Structure 1
Amino acid sequence: MIETSGQALDLWQISGRDHPAHVADHRLVECEVMGTMLASPHPGEWRTIRHCEAVGCRQYNCSLAGTAIEDCLLDTMGQAGPMYLTLDACVFRRVIMRGRLTTMLFRFDPHPFSGTGGGPDFKDRWRAEMAAYYRSGSRNLEADWALDITEARFTALTSLTIVPGELVRFDPDRAIRIRRDALTGNWAEEMPGVMQICCEDFLEGPFDSFVVQRGESKVNRERFAREAAWMRDHGFADPA
């Protein structure tokens, strides 16, 4: 593993390519990372980040799309620029997130390197490929978990809509798992607004459940505690 400390880096410098597609075996310590990894115009042709660690780093307007992140560690990441860390149509396998983490947006819609990848069904085909990716590891869920956020401390409420909830390891004191089969009928009636938004985003995807984790400011913790209790009491979220 190549270790780099205290530097400002673009993803192309790490990957050695003008348009980064694959990164492996790097450990970044207290670095500032910038750049984007854009989705392939061919759904299911994953960009990859494998066997990498980022410890005590900051991100500057980073975004990943159509990327498979596997066997990686993200331990404490701040925000250097004005933009949040965006993860669009990304998939995960055995990824640990821990420590205080910048605001992250997990979204279904990818942004391809060029064009639209073949028409109006481009987004739908990417979502089908995301589902297929997780099915490939479904025979051994214990070994092929996706994300471990048990020790993560997000700066803002974080909705992991693009990751199957059963493949996320989390602390039930800081997160809830919401199931698709509970979102029937007039499911949104009286539901707290932020939870409605999270559920609406989730329903655009192919998965059966997802996890929402609180932000760590005092106001966010108190609000989340109330809303998580409401979701559990009304049968939308798993019991604590």
Structure 2
Amino acid sequence: MQRFEGRTFWHGGDPLSLSHVSASDCGFNQCNVRSVSRGWNVYSDIRLENVSHWNCEATGCVFDDISVQNLKKTGSAPLFLNASVFRHVTLAGNISGLKINRSELATLVSEEDRRWRDAEVKAFYSSADWALDISRAKFPNGTTFEALPGDKIVRDRKTQALIRRDALKTMDWKALDYRGTAIDIAIGWFEHGSLFDSVVVVPRSSSKYREADAAVIDMLRREGVAEMD
């Protein structure tokens, strides 16, 4: 395994695959990875610890056997992971500025390519035993997981809740009191934009938001929107 410590990395946008790499106390600045047409960038057997990101984006990636311990946002933009899939990926510690999107920008791909990618994503997860482990992760400013199947996410069942699409059909979930948390927005993104039948919602861990987010997740469980676990 190739090991890096205290380094700063840049990548200008070309497709890129990597494996057998570890990095600690490193920064990723303006690292942008384009998708491969009708193919994938593949990242496997990678260990990251105490790393930061600044204006980074990766599209059309398979993330396989990855661990990330503490991910820090240093710019104004989140780390965008678009049209990508995850298998045996573990996030732990503080994870800030992460945005996982189902698709890449519509201006960059055709509708035919988008349908191809969606079909590949569903086939990928049909054979994966688990996708993402967030049970030891905290999200200071939140994140959403509508781009992944919720039942393939390993979570902290005390604080991170599973919502199934069928539950949303049985009630007017939008009429509930979300206390200005934006958790209702995350549920809406799942309902209208996800390929899957379940989603995990997580509370923000920042002290400004933690109490309200936790209260809303508890309310969703009581109302039958989220599973009681």
Listed as ranges, the gaps of 5+ residues in structure 1 are 13-17, 138-143
Correspondence list, 1:17-166, <5 A: 19-34=14-29, 35-42=31-38, 45-111=39-105, 116-117=108-109, 119-137=110-128, 144-166=129-151
1:50-79 CA deviation, whole Å, 9 max, x = no partner? 101111111111111111100011111112
Q: Which amino acid aligns with 2:68?
A: L
For residue 225 of structure 1, the aligned residue among 201, 207, 214 is 214
Listed as ranges, the gaps of 5+ residues in structure 2 are none
Q: Which amino acid aligns with 2:137?
A: A
Q: How far apart are the structure 2 equivalents of 1:177 and 1:162?
A: 14
Q: Are 1:38 and 1:111, in contact at CA under 8 Å, matched by a contact in 2?
A: no
Q: Are 1:39 and 1:111, in contact at CA under 8 Å, matched by a contact in 2?
A: no
Identity %: 25
Q: Are 2:15 and 2:36, in contact at CA under 8 Å, matched by a contact in 1?
A: no
Q: Are 2:23 and 2:48, in contact at CA under 8 Å, matched by a contact in 1?
A: yes
For residue 171 of structure 1, the aligned residue among 153, 156, 180 is 156
Shift of 1:21: 2.2
Q: Which amino acid aligns with 1:127?
A: D
Q: How far apart are the structure 2 equivalents of 1:163 and 1:222?
A: 26
Q: Which amino acid aligns with 1:162?
A: A
Q: How far apart are the structure 2 equivalents of 1:184 and 1:110?
A: 28
TM-score, normalised via structure 2 length? 0.90
Name the SS for the 1:216 alignment partner: coil
Q: How far apart are the structure 2 equivalents of 1:157 and 1:174?
A: 13
Q: Which amino acid aligns with 1:147?
A: L
1:7 pairs with 2:7: yes
The structure-2 alpha-carbon separation of the partners of 1:121 and 1:197, relative to structure 1 and needing over 3 Å to count, comes to farther
Q: What value does the CA root-mean-square deviation take over the aligned residues?
A: 1.9
Match of 1:140 in 2: none
Shift of 1:174: 2.2
Shift of 1:210: 0.9
Q: Are 2:15 and 2:35, in contact at CA under 8 Å, matched by a contact in 1?
A: no
Shift of 1:135: 1.1
Q: How far apart are the structure 2 equivalents of 1:189 and 1:41?
A: 42
Shift of 1:191: 5.2
Q: How far apart are the structure 1 equivalents of 2:6 and 2:91?
A: 20
Match of 1:141 in 2: none
